[in-house]
Amino acid sequence: MRTLLAALAASTILAGAAEAATVYPLDRATILAGSPFDFKVEFAETVKPEDVKVTVNGQDYKAVFGSEAAFVETEKGKDDKALGSALILRKLVLAKPGDYKVEATAGNDTRTVTWTVYGTPAAAKAKNVIFLLGDGLSMAHRTGARLMSKGMHEGKADGRLNLDDVDLRAFVGTSATDAVATDSANTMSAYMTGHKTAVNALGVYADRTPDSLDDPRVETIAEALRRTGKKSVGIVSTAEIEDATPAALVSHTRRRADKAEIVGMIYDVKPEIVLGGGSAYFLSKERPGSKRKDDKDYIQLFKDAGYTLATDKNELAAASGTNTGKILGLFHPGNMDTLLDREFLKKGTVAEFPNQPGLVEMTSAALEQLAKNPDGFFLMVEGASIDKMSHPMDWERAMVETIEFDKAIGVAREFQKNNPDTLIVVTGDHTHGVSIIGTIDDNKPGPEMREKVGVYDKAGFPNYEDKNGDGYPDSVDVSRRLAIFANNFPDYYETFRPKLDGPFVPAVQNEKKEYVANEAYKDVPGAVLRIGNLPKSSDTAVHAVDDVVLQADGPGAEGFHGYMEQSDIYRVLADAFALAPQAN
Ligand SMILES: [Zn+2]
């Protein structure tokens, strides 16, 4: 009877307590032992410090955490709105693996979360990790790249991509802490820190205050490698190097758009190899083309830190021959042009920047330098424009980018052959709502273009050719091409044809700031207006929530299996490198 009464009393208290407080890291967080992170409690109301009680596994938190959190009486929101009190403890380190039940209470406001702190084996499994990230890499990109690069007859592919021979390991869920849908920031940040976060956030939990740079931080893999050893770090991307995916290796911000600040964060960590676009954010404000609002000249700062600067393909080749081991390669003020534009069509901004290296050259140059470190390295290679071309539904460019990404995988595989202590991971950060449904055959009777779409047995096979054997179709504008369609779109004109004049711009803004079909494509023969199924604020197709596929080969790859959250990927990387301190 006493037990029953006690239970009733306990449940009454629980019912009365509002779970309004938020604790960061969030419930179910997994944390690498020894890895510093910021602890924060946000209470819903302004409370007195003496009313705040925080316990960890039933003990006062100060005993377990080894230090005292700062108390903020009233946090301020937008327009100075009072948000309630907070506790903040920066750079907390938990060295001992196990479950940590954290209970924070102030008056009626209470929150309980449980974190799992994990260790790693004592011995590293891999010396090097090459993490190849196809941004937006979906099933259709894989299939499309294979069909366009290798061809097919009688239903069997005429060749294999490098992708096709990396072991399939896991499906990865990519949702964010605030939404089922994701962006590159949240997913890549989860891969590179082990913590899921909100859409647009990098290396932080997204807190309630408006400042994007004060949010509770978690350690990135590059920082963990600096803390624990002497491995080199390389970042290669065809995007702006301060774009979300490459930024995730080093950055801490609630806003991926804080690109000028992100350059400073790259500089703070100083990855040995930094290759990509985005030079506009490295130039001080008075320099032409600068996107900075301050006087910081990061190109000079990197040079002063011993980096060789490369601004085109030739300079990259020359820099690879030097022995400084540190290269800053910035080949475009923004995102680099796609391979289809660089090598074939000479559209986009290729006339202005004619000598950009591709992902293959950048990956080779990075590996040549990084391999010199006897302690090994972590290299991230991003095929960024798979995503950047899938948004505007420019499928030919997206597929050709996937072929180039596949060739970069080939470079990594070749390196692995000679360096079997290298773990290779190949994955995407989210998918797109895209599928291949057959072919579009110009020789089918029209006049409407939709009558030329061949499905089932009427699809036949596409007639791309690769006569010079470079792995790329000699032309994407063939008479029987792949029929690739998105399942989500703004209003746009479907032309059923490759965009030979430059990347597709499906929608443009009208006076009401709504995105409407771009009239520039209205007169393409056979073009039809498609009414969008997305809000009118969407200028392009969006990311899909579907799982991504993760492939991996090499020491430690067995750690990836089944369904995984994107935050679980980090633990396998930490295991491969044995990043946790060992109990002695
Ligand atoms: Zn995207």
Q: How far is CA 94 from CA 38, 58, 198, 224, in A?
A: 11, 16, 24, 14
User: Looking at the domain assignment, is residue 578 inside a domain?
Assistant: no
Residue 220 CA to ligand 1 center (angstroms) comes to: 21
Residue 244 CA to ligand 1 center (angstroms) comes to: 10
In which band, very low, low, confident or very high, does the pLDDT at 6 lie, cut at 50, 70 and 90?
low
Residue 390 CA to ligand 1 center (angstroms) comes to: 8
User: Looking at the domain assignment, is residue 513 inside a domain?
Assistant: no
Residue 368 CA to ligand 1 center (angstroms) comes to: 30
Report pLDDT digits (tens) over 358-390.
Answer: 999 999 999 999 999 999 999 999 999 999 999
Q: What is the chain's mean pLDDT, rounded?
A: 95
Residue 544 CA to ligand 1 center (angstroms) comes to: 10
User: Looking at the domain assignment, is residue 467 inside a domain?
Assistant: no
User: Looking at the domain assignment, is residue 583 inside a domain?
Assistant: no
Last residue of one domain, picked from the residues 66, 83, 118: 118
Cα 398 to Cα 339: distance, rounded to the nearest angstrom: 10
Asked if 41 and 142 sit in the same domain, the reply is no
In which band, very low, low, confident or very high, does the pLDDT at 453 lie, cut at 50, 70 and 90?
very high
Residue 131 CA to ligand 1 center (angstroms) comes to: 19
Domains held by the chain: number: 2
Asked if 405 and 284 sit in the same domain, the reply is yes
User: Looking at the domain assignment, is residue 185 inside a domain?
Assistant: yes
Q: What is the domain-level CATH number for residue 238? A: 3.40.720.10
Task: Find the mean pLDDT for residues 297-326.
Answer: 94
The H or E element spanning position 268 is: helix 259-269
Tell whether the model's pLDDT for residue 12 goes beyond 50.
no
Q: How far is CA 541 from CA 74, 184, 443, 528, 537, in A?
A: 41, 15, 29, 17, 11
Residue 149 CA to ligand 1 center (angstroms) comes to: 24
The H or E element spanning position 22 is: strand 22-24
Residue 240 CA to ligand 1 center (angstroms) comes to: 13
Last residue of one domain, picked from the residues 84, 118, 152: 118
Tokens at residue 118, please? 């994990």
User: Looking at the domain assignment, is residue 270 inside a domain?
Assistant: yes
Task: Find the mean pLDDT for residues 289-305.
Answer: 97
Residue 387 CA to ligand 1 center (angstroms) comes to: 5
Asked if 191 and 330 sit in the same domain, the reply is yes
User: Looking at the domain assignment, is residue 528 inside a domain?
Assistant: no
Residue 12 CA to ligand 1 center (angstroms) comes to: 47
**Across-strand partners of 327?**
273, 308
DSSP result, 410-434: HHHHHHHHH-TTEEEEEEESSEESE
In which band, very low, low, confident or very high, does the pLDDT at 581 lie, cut at 50, 70 and 90?
confident
Asked if 85 and 209 sit in the same domain, the reply is no
State the pTM of this model: 0.95
By the 10 Å C-beta count (0-12 exposed, 13-18 middle, 19+ buried), 395 is classed as buried
Asked if 113 and 132 sit in the same domain, the reply is no
Residue 175 CA to ligand 1 center (angstroms) comes to: 14
Residue 427 CA to ligand 1 center (angstroms) comes to: 15
Asked if 63 and 164 sit in the same domain, the reply is no
Asked if 114 and 142 sit in the same domain, the reply is no
Tell whether the model's pLDDT for residue 498 goes beyond 60.
yes
Tell whether the model's pLDDT for residue 49 goes beyond 70.
yes
Task: Find the mean pLDDT for residues 83-101.
Answer: 97
pLDDT for residue 18: 58
For ion ligand 1, residues whose CB falls within 5 Å:
387
Asked if 210 and 331 sit in the same domain, the reply is yes
Q: What is the DSSP letter of 165?
A: G
Report pLDDT digits (tens) over 170-209.
Answer: 999 999 999 999 999 999 999 999 999 999 999 999 999 9
- Inter-residue contact 291 to 263 (CB < 8 Å): no
Task: Find the mean pLDDT for residues 260-283.
Answer: 98
Tell whether the model's pLDDT for residue 1 goes beyond 80.
no
pLDDT for residue 322: 78
Q: What is the domain-level CATH number for residue 19? A: 2.60.40.10
Asked if 167 and 44 sit in the same domain, the reply is no
Report pLDDT digits (tens) over 531-579.
Answer: 999 999 999 999 999 999 999 999 999 999 999 999 999 999 999 999 9
Asked if 43 and 79 sit in the same domain, the reply is yes
pLDDT for residue 582: 81
Q: Which domain holds residue 277?
A: 128-434+543-554
pLDDT for residue 2: 52
Asked if 210 and 327 sit in the same domain, the reply is yes
25: left (phi over 0), alpha (psi -120 to 50) or beta: beta
User: Looking at the domain assignment, is residue 144 inside a domain?
Assistant: yes
Cα 254 to Cα 197: distance, rounded to the nearest angstrom: 9
- Inter-residue contact 127 to 420 (CB < 8 Å): no
Last residue of one domain, picked from the residues 83, 118, 153: 118
pLDDT for residue 97: 97
Report pLDDT digits (tens) over 478-495.
Answer: 999 999 999 999 999 999
DSSP result, 180-222: SS--HHHHHHHHHHS----TT-BSB---SSS-TTSSPBB--HH
DSSP result, 482-497: EEEEES---SEEE-SS
Asked if 250 and 342 sit in the same domain, the reply is yes
Residue 529 CA to ligand 1 center (angstroms) comes to: 24
